[in-house]
């Protein structure tokens, strides 16, 4: 019997994950299923260059919430490449570092409608297409526009609409509203334990 081996197919889900929520997890799961991925690596950003002005929760909290949220899924992993790199996070560096760790793998960068529209403004965007295939997922409230992006390198995927955002989760916690079932149970408990997102008096 012969076995044909193929390059591992790895999804990359980059995000601030402040906090990680079920929108992120559903997007990762749907792309993994549709693109026959072997693994999805969640990569919490260090300092996101797009969010320089706003307060972002310290990266160790965001990293641990991501680990908690993905722990039960054997094909989900979490990488520290971005939080361990100094300076702002650029997707090109994320992909270069992951490629250096797993040179044999084929990468699929998963990104929401809001982020995909901005790819052409990302650093070294010409080189991005050599490092990964891009999968743009639909997201309620955001129009998916892949105009101007190379069609061979970018695919679109409709996913079940989950109108959840981290911004909304933070606002809910600050107001004392529940985030049960918007984020995984362990993340609800982590937020409470570490008093994250409480409104500052
Ligand atoms: P914030 O409100 O703080 O910007 P967010 O909910 O957009 O947070 P991010 O960490 O910024 O979460 O998102 C990481 C990636 O996940 C982005 O590509 C984003 O488009 C995608 N994403 C976030 N929420 C959803 C969702 N509900 N459905 C599909 N994709 C999503
Ligand atoms: Mg966002």
Tell me the CA–centroid distance for residue 189 and ligand 1, in Å: 21
Domain positions in the chain are 9-193
pLDDT of residue 192: 98
**How far out from the chain centre does Cα 98 lie?**
14
| Bridge partners of residue 43, in order along the sequence | 14
Q: Which protein residues touch ligand 1 with a CB less than 6 Å away?
A: 15-18, 23-24, 27, 111-112, 114-115, 137, 139, 162, 164-167
Q: How many CB atoms lie within 10 A of CB 45?
A: 24
The closest residue, in CA terms, to atom 8 on ligand 1 is: 166
Identify the CATH homologous superfamily for domain 9-193.
HUPs (3.40.50.620)
Tens-level pLDDT at each residue, the chain (201 residues): 566 789 999 999 999 999 999 999 999 999 999 999 999 999 999 977 777 666 899 999 999 999 999 999 999 999 999 999 998 899 999 999 999 999 999 999 999 888 887 888 888 888 999 999 999 998 877 777 777 888 888 898 988 878 999 999 999 999 999 999 999 999 999 999 999 999 765
Is 14 exposed, middle or buried (CB count within 10 Å of its CB: 0-12, 13-18, 19+)?
A: buried
As a dihedral over the C-alpha atoms of residue 158, residue 173, residue 84, residue 125, rounded to 10 degrees, the angle is 30
- Selection from 169, 95, 104, 105 nearest residue 125 by Cα: 95
> Could you tell me the sign of the dihedral formed by the alpha carbons of 187, 189, 192, 194, in that order?
negative
Q: How many CB atoms lie within 10 A of CB 50?
A: 14
pLDDT of residue 49: 74
């Amino acid at each position: 019997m012969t076995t044909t081996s193929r390059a591992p197919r790895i999804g990359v889900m980059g995000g601030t994950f402040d906090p990680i929520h079920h929108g992120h997890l559903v997007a990762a799961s749907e792309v993994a299923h549709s693109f026959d991925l072997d693994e999805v690596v969640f990569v919490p950003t260090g300092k996101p260059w797009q969010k320089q002005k706003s307060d972002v929760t310290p990266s160790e909290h965001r990293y641990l919430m991501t680990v908690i949220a993905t722990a039960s899924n054997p094909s989900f992993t979490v990488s520290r490449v971005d939080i361990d790199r100094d300076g702002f996070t650029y997707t090109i560096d994320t992909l270069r570092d992951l490629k250096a760790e797993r040179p044999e793998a084929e990468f699929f960068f998963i990104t929401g409608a809001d982020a995909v529209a901005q790819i052409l403004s990302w650093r070294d965007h010409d080189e991005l297409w050599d490092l990964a295939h891009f999968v743009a997922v639909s997201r309620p409230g955001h129009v998916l526009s892949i105009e101007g992006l190379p069609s061979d390198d970018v695919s679109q995927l409709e996913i079940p609409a989950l109108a959840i955002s981290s911004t909304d989760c933070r606002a809910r916690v600050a107001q004392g509203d529940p985030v049960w079932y918007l984020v995984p149970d362990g993340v609800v408990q982590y937020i409470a334990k570490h008093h994250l997102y409480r409104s500052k008096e």
